[in-house]
Amino acid sequence: MTLLILAGSGEAKTLVRAVAAAGLDAVASLAGATRTPAKLDVPTRTGGFGGEDGFRGYLQSANVKAVVDATHPFAHRITDRTARVCRDLALPYLQVLRPQWEPEDGDTWTFIDREEEAAPFVRPGQTVFLGTGRQTLRRFANLTDCRIICRQIDPPTGPFPFPNGQFLVGRPPFPVAEEEALFKDLSVDWLIVKNAGGAPSRTKLIAARRLGIPVLMINRPPMPDADRVQTVEAALDWIARR
Ligand SMILES: NC(=O)c1ccc[n+]([C@@H]2O[C@H](COP(=O)([O-])OP(=O)(O)OC[C@H]3O[C@@H](n4cnc5c(N)ncnc54)[C@H](OP(=O)(O)O)[C@@H]3O)[C@@H](O)[C@H]2O)c1
């Protein structure tokens, strides 16, 4: 069978490596959001499918027999659509979704549902560190009276969209000590993150806890009604059963 792995997360890289090692017939798909993504170990296509029709056409032309969706927990459009199309075509579909973060002792988290809800928490003159990436930056347009720092992987291709902000280029992993030093250096008052989950990117939350920095935690979007596992190992079991 040809297995389509929708990539775009750390789990996808690990899954692809294991699938390649097992010699399975698989193709990975990247959205093309990162300019220089790490190379994957199976044949990889890059870029959107061209909407739902394009996706349906691709599934047929590539003779895809099952789909594992290992995209980021906040990539809800591709996840919703893939789950729906696969259900429609009776194509086996599995989402790999790592557990979300839960606060621990010493954490000061406030949960919000949307980026736009952050503004009332921030006082004039404060410094806000966005660990949310550049794609959703424009949703923070109402953060007007503070300083905004937005970290992104690729160097910016244009100016910061608001007068009160700046980009900071950085490629993970970010060790806790480095995050702590960075937040201190920038005098960060608020950290805003998406509840992506996973140990590697939890380091910024540990640094915030140690420095007493409050966190605005953006809740995950709703997930489709579909088969779901939390780990790569469980995804490999699901694949093996097919
Ligand atoms: N959202 C985040 O916070 C975040 C963080 C880290 C990494 N990522 C990764 O970046 C990618 C884009 O994220 P997003 O939030 O923009 O996604 P999205 O809103 O769910 O999807 C937008 C469009 O991007 C294309 N797309 C998304 N993932 C794809 C994949 N793996 N292969 C081919 N096309 C894909 C599809 O285009 P067509 O309609 O043309 O098929 C989809 O309709 C995802 O793959 C995700 O895993 C996202």
Per residue of the chain (242 residues), give pLDDT as tens.
799 999 999 999 999 999 999 999 999 999 998 888 888 999 999 999 999 999 999 999 999 999 999 999 999 999 999 999 999 999 999 999 999 999 999 999 999 999 999 999 999 999 999 999 999 999 999 999 999 999 999 999 999 999 999 999 999 999 999 999 999 999 999 999 999 999 999 999 999 999 999 999 999 999 999 999 999 999 999 999 98
| Beta-carbon count within 10 A of 151 CB | 19
**Do the domains 109-218 and 2-99+222-240 match in fold?**
yes
Minimum-distance ligand 1 atom for the alpha carbon of 76: 20
| Beta-carbon count within 10 A of 187 CB | 10
Q: CA separation (Å) from 89 to 75, 109, 242?
A: 22, 41, 17
**The dihedral formed by the CA atoms of 30, 32, 37 and 40, expressed in degrees to the nearest 10:** 20
**Ligand 1 site, CB within 6 A:** 6-9, 29-31, 33, 48-51, 54-55, 71-72, 74-78, 133, 135, 194
pLDDT at 36: 81
Nearest-CA residue for atom 12 of ligand 1? 31
Domain residue spans of the chain: 2-99+222-240, 109-218
- Provide the β-strand partners of residue 22: none
CATH 3.40.50.720 fits 2-99+222-240, yes or no: yes
Q: Calculate how far, in angstroms, residue 224's C-alpha sits from the geometric centre of ligand 1.
A: 16
| Beta-carbon count within 10 A of 116 CB | 13
Q: Answer left, alpha or beta for residue 30, where phi above 0 means left and psi between -120 and 50 means alpha.
A: beta
Q: Calculate how far, in angstroms, residue 31's C-alpha sits from the geometric centre of ligand 1.
A: 5
Structure tokens at 174: 């970010």
pLDDT at 81: 98
How deeply is 204 buried, as exposed, middle or buried, from its count of CB atoms within 10 A (0-12, 13-18, 19+)?
A: buried
Q: Calculate how far, in angstroms, residue 208's C-alpha sits from the geometric centre of ligand 1.
A: 28
CATH code of the region 109-218: 3.40.50.720
